[in-house]
Chains A and B, each alone.
Chain A
Amino acid sequence: MDRWRVLLGDREVARFDLPEGGSVVVGRGADADVRIDNPAVSRSHCRLVRQGGHVRVEDLGSRNGTFVNGVRVEGNAPVGPADRVTLAKFTVQPATGPTGRGTDLDATVVLGRRSGCSVPLRRLVCLSGRAEPEVVELSGRGVVRVGKGAECEARVAGFALGRVQFTVLASAEGHVIAHRGRWRATRVADRKIGGEPVRLSPGDEIVAGPVRFRYE
């Protein structure tokens, strides 16, 4: 129970250590030990404490509650190795083995028909705001459109976002992103982008209005 991770669906969005005698605050606030940037998560949402080999989770008066195996935590509750702690759409659980699944996923490659070449799996993960789906697979797709329109592969909600707000395209040099909306800007790694395609690097954050994605 040393290593823990935070999952959104089956994607790891954060990991942290919880040593014996230690405690960790999970929340949206800048002072949380483990930050989850999602509006449904309170600034200081919950605290995990490890004492005498046992782990307990304490709800810190969060608005949307902390759950262990689906049961809302009143005050605090024990957490075993097989238990799942959930807050909003996020799951907090012990990482099994010395390397968690996130590492395995990062190493996953697809051997395409292009024998001898391998393509890393890439995706957009919604970190905050409303997006459907929240994890958008990019591999094998020539284009992924993100916007409010029905034609988009990823639908998002937010005032003044475009029918197609931005698009991610598969180019020879990896994925590129181009802004397509009219009213609200699209930012990549804190820089406003235009219609000129910009290369994406793993870890880049893409922000359009209230919606935020990470390219990974």
Chain B
Amino acid sequence: MRARNEDAFGLLERPPLWVVADGMGGHAAGDRAARIAVEAVVGAMAAARRAGAEDLVAAVEKAHRAVARDAGADPARAGMGCTLVAALVAGPRLHVVHAGDARCYLLRGGRLRVLTRDHSAVAELGSRASGLRHVVTRAVGVALDAGPEYTWEGVERGDRVLLCSDGLWGPVPAGRIEGLLRESPDPLSACEALIEAALERGGPDNVTAVVAFRKG
């Protein structure tokens, strides 16, 4: 499995782990929050023995505390945080934990499915108001009272997994994501094609995506 992207992400080979974070709360502070969160998750998972879903959720909670602590150290960073999605392969299962509107997609049998449920005003209130489009209801570092959310899926041969920020799924329609993931010969070209598609459609600079293929 291979992957690539731009901006705040993290990868681990053992256990197989992928993390994508998208910062918010002022440009510099947002980047910092995303980086701290990703480092905290990767660090905690690298240290976990027989890592399972509980370690991943605990790692995201740890990242939340790390970001909140860092934000408290400097008034300029007050309110910084990030959306985050992390996926772990443990035995026969893919464990996914997320906060905010970062998403995890699964392409199986040529069909694309989103495994995560956005924590956003739009998703939860059903509102299409443009003023609410960027309002997330949970975020690492600032609003995690409800905890991160966990979901899982059995892993099958040929599965393709995409973790991404709203910079990708916002401008690129699901059908296009499905097509690009399906037609790419390897994760690297899939990632490049997806990011290119986002930038073509006027996506922001901080498009972050991680793609992983399970051997067919």
Interface residues in chain A, defined as those with a beta carbon under 8 Å from any beta carbon in chain B: 112-117, 119, 140-143, 145, 151, 164, 167, 169-172, 176, 178, 180, 195-197
Contact = CB atoms under 8 A, between A and B. Distances in A.
A113 B137 contact: yes
9 contacts: A113-B146, A114-B137, A143-B58, A164-B54, A167-B53, A178-B54, A180-B52, A180-B54, A195-B91
A45 B24 CA distance: 60
B146 A143 contact: no
Contact of B151 (A114, A171, A195): A171
Given A140-B145, A142-B148, A167-B53, 20 more contacts: A112-B146, A113-B138, A113-B143, A115-B121, A115-B137, A142-B57, A142-B58, A142-B60, A142-B61, A142-B147, A143-B150, A169-B57, A170-B146, A171-B151, A171-B152, A178-B52, A178-B54, A180-B52, A180-B54, A197-B152
Most chain A beta-carbon contacts within 10 A, residue among B91, B125, B145, B146 = B146
Contacts of B121: 115
B150 A171 contact: yes
**Closest A-B pairs by Cβ, 10 of them:** A143-B57, A142-B147, A167-B54, A142-B57, A169-B150, A142-B148, A114-B137, A112-B146, A143-B54, A172-B117
Interface of B: 52-54, 57-58, 60-61, 91, 93, 97, 117, 119, 121, 124-125, 137-138, 143, 145-152
Contact of A169 (B54, B91, B93): B54
B57 A172 contact: no
A114 B125 CA distance: 9
A143 B54 CA distance: 6
A171 B146 CA distance: 11
A178 B56 CA distance: 14
A8 to B, nearest CB: 25
Contact of B149 (A164, A170, A178): A170
Judged by DSSP, the binding face of A is loop
Given A115-B125, A143-B57, A195 B150 contact: no
A119 B117 contact: no
B93 A195 contact: yes
Contacts, number: 79
A140 B152 contact: no
Contacts of B119: 114
A176 B150 contact: yes
A142 B52 contact: no
B124 A113 contact: no
A145 B54 contact: yes
B147 A197 contact: no
B61 A114 contact: no
B137 A170 contact: no
Contacts of A119: 146
Contacts of A195: 52, 91, 93
Given A142-B97, A195-B91, A170 B147 contact: yes
B150 A170 contact: yes
Nearest to A164: B54
Contacts of A197: 53, 152
A115 B143 CA distance: 13
A151 B146 CA distance: 21
